[in-house]
Amino acid sequence: MQKKKRRTQPLHFPSVQLTDLPDGHSKHRKSVLEILDHLRKLDEYTSIKIDLAEVGRKKSDLRAALHRAAKKEKLESSTVSDERNLYVFHRKPKTRMRL
């Protein structure tokens, strides 16, 4: 059987080397890793209090990054916030109600 030659399709978007990316492409990474590491060390009755002004991150962006990383690591977590702080804690697994 004769193999068909694959044509390479032209790219629709330009490519850029990772070394040429701006420094902010993983700006939450260090904060998120530290928070999740801290969370693993806590019991289920304690939360982490994160001062958003001190961290210098937008609440919604940091929360989204935390949820993505926790899900990836299969770590059940939840967040609650007020004007100044973000609280991160272990989420209790959902239990099914029996009737």
What pLDDT is stored for residue 42 in this prediction? 93
Q: Give the integer Cα–Cα distance in Å for 67 and 78.
A: 8
What pLDDT is stored for residue 58 in this prediction? 84
- DSSP structural state of residue 78: E
pLDDT at 5 over 70: no
What pLDDT is stored for residue 94 in this prediction? 61
Q: Are 81 and 48 in contact, with CB atoms under 8 Å apart?
A: no
Give the relative orientation of helices 59-72 and 29-40 as an angle to the nearest 10 degrees.
60
Residue 37 located in a structural domain: yes
Per-residue pLDDT reduced to its tens digit, 36-84: 999 999 998 999 999 988 888 788 888 999 999 999 999 999 999 998 9
| Domain around 32 | 27-90
Q: Are 52 and 84 in contact, with CB atoms under 8 Å apart?
A: yes
Our count of domains for the chain comes to 1
Q: Where residue 79 sits, what CATH number does that domain have?
A: 1.10.10
Residue 96 located in a structural domain: no
